[in-house]
């Protein structure tokens, strides 16, 4: 299901936005078993489709007329509920729409519903949701990845054209890899975070998951750009991202990272696949070189020190007074805070709040938080140095394919789960854009992605690189 195909039919009058929405609603209902959606905005979507059809009849097309989009349950849509898959936001309704969503709707997109995710976007398997796990459409016994698991599964199952996710350490790219779809984490500051429920504010970005590069590129192009409501959004000009097919004769300079390919957790089949990709690129005359990146072992620890610190502060606002859930066991202000938070948050979120509070506490601040910041700086500097010599960096998206729901190893040891993000946290720590494209098929029947990391604000080059990788695998 690609938007391009639908668009042609819409323009020729063979199809309508209402047809498209009805088709998606039927599909969503028929795949209720996947548990991708927490809520379907049925009436709203039908109304929006009728509005868009009226415009189409007058010949007024937006860039995304009739594109059906699902949004992760941590992105706000005015007047609709949003919960970050947490009990603590039970019953809460958004007071305004995220800027990214407003921009999509202004170009004619139709929001179909909100998708399941790990609670407050903390997780790599979607098993941390207060509303149940999501099944991977390629194998129902496996996880879809996380935290944007519902979004990835919805796109992979053909329930919508595009789904939005958020990526703090890999939450778009890792589920994209597990579900065999495209997932994009833009440069930090490329897309406004206004209306995104905050997890790690200096890491978070909204981005698209899609079945193909075209749909992802055009959505990102529409969402990107300066927004007065988010001071960290960038003024840097948004170039056209959809023109990635325009051929470039010049051979590319591509880096692959030694420590990544040698990392002990990497599945041998994924490694072999990466080496084949490198060889193919070389055969075509591209310059592909091994570069050392000695900070691999520090990535995940640095990420967890800094993001939990930010999370502990961001999540302080859920106090049982301002938003959503309030414990009925409370008797005064203090017990309202304690009981509402104890009952409202799930175990992983509590773990991170405690960890974050600890690393920020006066006795340990220098030992953990400030050190984490310094390591982040080293990672950033070294990464930007690589981009002085190379057009992009090629890595696996994930060390393995999707694991089983309830997998004991992951449940027993939280660091096993944290290491799922070993290759994706890099782009969030450094701020660079990165994309996962579904190129690999494992002998276990599961897809896996290849990741391209590009210079900051070079999303255009990133899509071209992704197109190049697609074309050498045709």
Contacts of ligand GLN in 334-353 (CB under 6 A): none
Residue in 124, 148, 171, 436 annotated catalytic: 171
Give pairs for 337-344: CB < 8 Å, separation 24+. 340/88, 341/88, 343/87, 344/86, 344/87, 344/88, 344/90, 344/318, 344/320
Select from 250, 260, 235 the least CA-distant residue to 434: 260
Say which residues have a Cβ less than 8 Å from residue 398's Cβ, sequence separation at least 6: 145, 173, 174, 177, 178, 270, 420, 423, 424, 448, 449
Q: Which of residues 162-201 bind ligand GLN (CB under 6 A)?
A: 166-171, 199
Indicate whether 119 belongs to the interface with ligand GLN (CB under 6 A): no
Helix axes 3-11, 17-30, angle to 10 degrees: 140
Touching ligand GLN, residues 218-277 (CB under 6 A): none
Give the span between the Cα atoms of 153 and 135, in whole angstroms: 7
Task: Select 263 or 307, whichever has its Cβ closest to ligand GLN.
Answer: 307
Comparing CB distances to ligand GLN, the nearer of 122 and 296 is 122
Q: Please, what is the minimum distance in Å from the beta carbon of residue 26 to ligand GLN?
A: 31
327 in catalytic set? no
Q: How far is the CB of 415 from ligand GLN (least distance, A)?
A: 12
Handedness of CA 467, 394, 305, 145 (dihedral sign): positive
Q: Judged by CB under 6 A, which of 16, 35, 115, 124 binds ligand GLN?
A: 124
Catalytic residue flag (residue 292): no
Nearest-CB residue to ligand GLN? Answer: 171
Q: How far is the CB of 171 from ligand GLN (least distance, A)?
A: 3
Round to whole Å and give the CA distance between 372 and 304: 9
> How far apart are CB 164 and ligand GLN at their closest, in Å?
13
**Residue of 301, 455, 309 whose CA lies nearest to 376:** 301
E strand intervals along 89-219 = 110-115, 162-167, 182-185, 205-210
C-alpha span between 214 and 53 (Å, rounded): 23
Which residue, 121 or 134, has its beta carbon nearer to ligand GLN? 121
Closest approach of Cβ 122 to ligand GLN, in Å? 5
Q: Does 121 bind ligand GLN (CB under 6 A)?
A: yes
**Subset of residues 392 to 421 that bind ligand GLN, contact rule: CB under 6 A:** 421
**Active-site residue identified among 65, 72, 192, 464:** 72
Minimum gap (Å) between residue 200 Cβ and ligand GLN: 8
3-state helix, strand, coil in the chain (%, to 5): 45, 15, 40
Q: Which residue in 402, 323, 315, 298 sits closest to 355, CA to CA?
A: 315
Site for ligand GLN in 420-439 (CB under 6 A): 421
Token duo for residue 97 = 């729409």
Taking CB under 6 A as the rule, does residue 372 contact ligand GLN?
no
145 binding ligand GLN? (CB under 6 A): no
Tell me the window of 115-123, 244-252, 316-324, 433-441 that interacts with ligand GLN (CB under 6 A): 115-123
* Lookup result for tokens 């859930």: 325
Contact segment (CB under 6 A) with ligand GLN among 38-46, 118-126, 318-326, 440-448 equals: 118-126
Cβ at position 199, least distance to ligand GLN in Å = 6
Count the residues of the shown chain that bind ligand GLN, applying the rule CB under 6 A. Answer: 14
Is there binding between residue 147 and ligand GLN (CB under 6 A)? yes
Q: What are phi and psi of 111, to 5 degrees?
A: -85, 125
Nearer to ligand GLN, 151 or 166 (CB): 166
Q: What would the 3-class secondary structure string for 205-268 be?
A: EEEEEECCHHHHHHHHHHHECCECCECCCCCCCCCCCCCCCCCCCCCCEEEEEHHHHCCCCCCH
**Nearer residue to ligand GLN within complex by CB, 242 or 433:** 433
From the CB of 442, what's the least distance to ligand GLN, in Å? 21
Q: Decide: helix, strand or coil at residue 275.
A: helix
Torsion from C-alpha of 406, 209, 382, 303, nearest 10 degrees = -40
Q: Which is the catalytic residue, given 86, 97, 129, 147? A: 147
Q: Is 72 a catalytic residue?
A: yes
| Residues 467, 320: Cα–Cα separation, whole Å | 48
Catalytic residues: 72, 147, 171
Where does this chain bind ligand GLN (CB under 6 A)?
Answer: 121-124, 146-147, 166-171, 199, 421
């Amino acid at each position: 299901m690609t938007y391009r195909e639908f668009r042609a039919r819409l323009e020729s009058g063979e199809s309508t936005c209402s047809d498209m929405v009805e088709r998606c609603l039927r599909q969503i209902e028929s795949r209720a078993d996947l548990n991708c959606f927490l809520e379907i905005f049925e009436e709203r979507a039908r109304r929006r489709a009728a509005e868009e059809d009226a415009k189409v009849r007058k010949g007024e097309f937006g860039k995304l007329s009739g594109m059906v989009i699902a949004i992760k349950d941590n992105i706000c849509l005015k007047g609709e509920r949003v919960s970050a898959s947490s009990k603590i936001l039970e019953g809460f309704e958004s007071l305004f729409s995220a800027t990214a969503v407003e921009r999509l709707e202004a170009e004619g997109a139709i929001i179909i519903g909100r998708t399941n995710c790990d609670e407050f976007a903390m997780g790599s398997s979607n098993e941390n949701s207060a509303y149940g796990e999501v099944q991977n459409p390629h194998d129902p016994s496996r996880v879809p990845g996380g935290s944007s698991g519902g979004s990835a599964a919805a796109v992979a199952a053909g329930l919508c054209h595009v789904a939005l996710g958020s990526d703090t350490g890999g939450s778009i790219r890792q589920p994209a890899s597990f579900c065999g779809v495209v997932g994009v984490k833009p440069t930090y500051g490329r897309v406004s975070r206004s209306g995104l429920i905050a997890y790690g504010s200096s890491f978070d970005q909204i981005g698209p998951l899609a079945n193909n590069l075209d749909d992802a590129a055009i959505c990102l192009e529409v969402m990107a750009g300066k927004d007065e409501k988010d001071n960290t959004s960038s003024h840097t000009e948004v170039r056209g991202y959809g023109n990635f097919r325009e051929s470039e004769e010049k051979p590319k300079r591509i880096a692959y990272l030694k420590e990544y390919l040698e990392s002990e957790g990497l599945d041998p089949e994924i490694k072999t696949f990466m080496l084949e990709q490198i060889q193919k690129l070389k055969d075509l005359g591209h310059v592909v070189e091994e570069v050392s990146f000695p900070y691999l072992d520090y990535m995940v620890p640095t990420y967890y020190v800094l993001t939990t610190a930010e999370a502990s502060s961001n999540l302080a606002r859920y106090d049982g007074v301002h938003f959503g859930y309030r414990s009925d066991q409370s008797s005064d202000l203090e017990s309202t805070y304690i009981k509402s938070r104890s009952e409202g948050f799930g175990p992983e979120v509590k773990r991170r709040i405690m960890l974050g509070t600890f690393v920020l506490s006066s006795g340990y601040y220098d030992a953990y938080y400030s050190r984490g910041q310094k390591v982040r700086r080293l990672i950033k500097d070294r990464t930007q140095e690589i981009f002085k010599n190379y057009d992009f960096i090629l890595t696996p998206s994930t060390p393995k394919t999707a694991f089983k729901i309830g997998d004991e190893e992951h449940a027993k040891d939280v660091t096993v789960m944290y290491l799922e993000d070993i290759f994706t946290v890099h782009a969030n720590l450094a701020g660079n854009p990165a994309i996962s494209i579904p190129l690999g098929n494992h002998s276990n029947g599961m897809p896996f992605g290849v990741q391209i990391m590009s210079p900051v604000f070079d999303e255009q080059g990133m899509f071209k690189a992704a197109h190049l990788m697609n074309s050498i695998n045709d």
